[in-house]
Chain A
Amino acid sequence: MSDEIRNGDEELFDDADLQEGEAPTEGAAEPDPEPVTEPASEPPADDPTPPPPPPVEPPPSRSGGIGRRDLVKALATVPVIGALGYSALRRKGLADDERERLLAELGIEDEGSAVFSELTTMTHPDTLRIGIVGYGGEGESLIRSLGFAHPDWIQARREAKIENPRDTWLDEWLEQENLNLELTAVCDVFDVRAERAIAASTQPIRPGGDTRQLKPAKRYRHYEELCNAPDVDAVIIATPDHLHSPITVAAANAGKHVYCEKCMTRTEEGVWPMADAVKQSGIVFQLGHQNRQMESHEKAREVVDKGVLGPITLVETTTNRNDPWGAWVWDIHEDGNPRTIDWELFQENAGNEVPFSLERFFRWRCWYDYGTGLSGDLLSHEYDAINQVLNLGIPHSAVASGGVYFFKDGRDVPDVWQAVFEYPDRDLTLIYSSTLANGRDRGIVMMGHDASMEVGTRLKVTADGSSTRYQEMLEEGLVRRDRPMLTYQSGFKGVDAVTTPTQEYFASRGLLFTYRGGRRVSTYYLHLREWLNAIRYGGDTSCNIDRGIEEAITCHMATKSYLEGRRVYWDPIQRKIV
């Protein structure tokens, strides 16, 4: 064994602080109560060599042992650490200065959006009684967000959590506030779904520590009966698009508040009776664009309002999905048949009446008779997101094209579809581009003379190389073309469980959840809660009937252009698409 190794072993056995379980910052700094003796020099058990002879140096005195030489050696590294500390701080200081200068120059708040703060839990003394019309996939999500989950969902989420510890949906749902609601009424043309809604209405596990024993919801055959029921205060409409307008009119005429899914109507003609009924009755109306609750959209609005992008001339928004579910090839329920489905009521107000069809019933988005395909389903969300940030309103003109290029399954709505909207009074063009047969992530991009902004759950602003406003900063290197000058991520630290491509698409557009005070929260829940609070305490909803008119007319202009093969215009005098 060499001397060096012996030396190391001595040190190891001598200074056995760790084996004594002492905290690292204590112990060693305290004077050793042991008398001044030689360190124990036992070798390790597997060391075949005899113990080394004790060193022969004289024991030093406690006070006289520290000489100048010792001090120099002990503190030898301190100056270098000083240099490291100085350079680290200087680097940080320079970076901070640049950051502050840039933010000051742009006029952007350093913090998250001022509009949304941490969620505070409210208690509501009065019980609101809810009726649901249309308890399909979307209806079930909405009712669950209000606190009434079907037992199957609770079971599925528990199993998912065992499978994947990242799956915290059940916990997040249970942490929601007790909204003090009762699900008293359900109307669905399919027996199985009506029964599921009734099961959810009494399911005893509910968020916010709600332990009330609730009576089962009553089933109504026709939506008129549900709207006129005395034990219904507010109606949620999650039917196919062709029924939105007549049901809203029935509810508003009965004085019931309405939360309606998008697209607001199937046709241009459906918009006006619906809007008039809502405005004349004074009910609280919310259109189901839950991404209105996205924290990052508010930040995007601030960026645009501060003129960071310069004059915006082009906005591009997209939908790319690439799985059958995302193309509305939804499951056909095994119990669906003419005896369990009220086909006549389903067809009320549809474009055309046709013989019973399971495909049309369960995959209604594939036909213009019930919806408007990509236009009403997905352009509506994209347009509304941009309308939140830019307040675009109804376009001057629209032209659209596309076709059924991939899902040739008998549908009549296109699966690849593009629409171009002109806003000459804003000097701006909006392009929507979509395919249901490719999953490339394209997102929303707003293009200004000075910078571009990508909008999703995060924002990314990159200066334009030929910007007038940032010319000096570009030359100085404070701003670079190849690096974002501003990014914003909703205040969240943690991992999300988003598993499928369509889910990823939904999540990136704020259609599933957003963040409040660093916690993930369902946007459905926030959007519904905003509606309920407006009913209870007054105030407006973020996607009220005026935003709904803008959304519906914009989508219908593009649909009309596609179906008629021509450019269409908005006539603001006649309030009509021409």
Chain B
Amino acid sequence: MIGYLLSFMILWSVAYSVWAGTSAEVSNSVITSGAEAVELVLTLAGSMAVWGGIMKIAERSGLTQALTKLMQPVLKLIFRGLKKDSEALRAIAMNLSADLMGLGNAATPLGIEAMRALEREESPGERATPNMIKLAVMNSCSAEIIPATVAALRAEAGSASPMEILPCVLLVSFASLAVALLVAEVLNIGAKR
């Protein structure tokens, strides 16, 4: 899908540039875009490496697991109807802790594991259960506490205070997560009738 979208954008750009007389600029951007991509990856790689290192220490020292335990009671309010010491709930808690810590690559496999555990425990057939919907919705919202990637890009662009956006990010993340879960909840109730 992204391939189609980009091909369309490129075709449109060329057509538009002929009309607007910006062919020289477009030609230039074709030549420089590869270098820009490398530059962007270099900026990201540094901060990603540092956070990956810090979070691996958190994982090995048991901090991530402690966070997981702390979250279970709250998660029980969102994911209802699961049996006592449910494997799925544990997986969901691990998935969310990884998300909070900004461990994107660890969070996705954990989330998929949680999804499979939910499938085993709720045997939905072909239709998603309310808990599965909530898990997918929760992961499509950002729960990251430290927006490290964005801060790295801001620092590179010469920001006086790359992390100043932190309170805004926390507020907006939380609000959008709350709205998404609420909508899922309301639609669940609507679907039951």
> A and B from one assembly?
no
Chain B residues within 8 Å of A, Cβ to Cβ: none
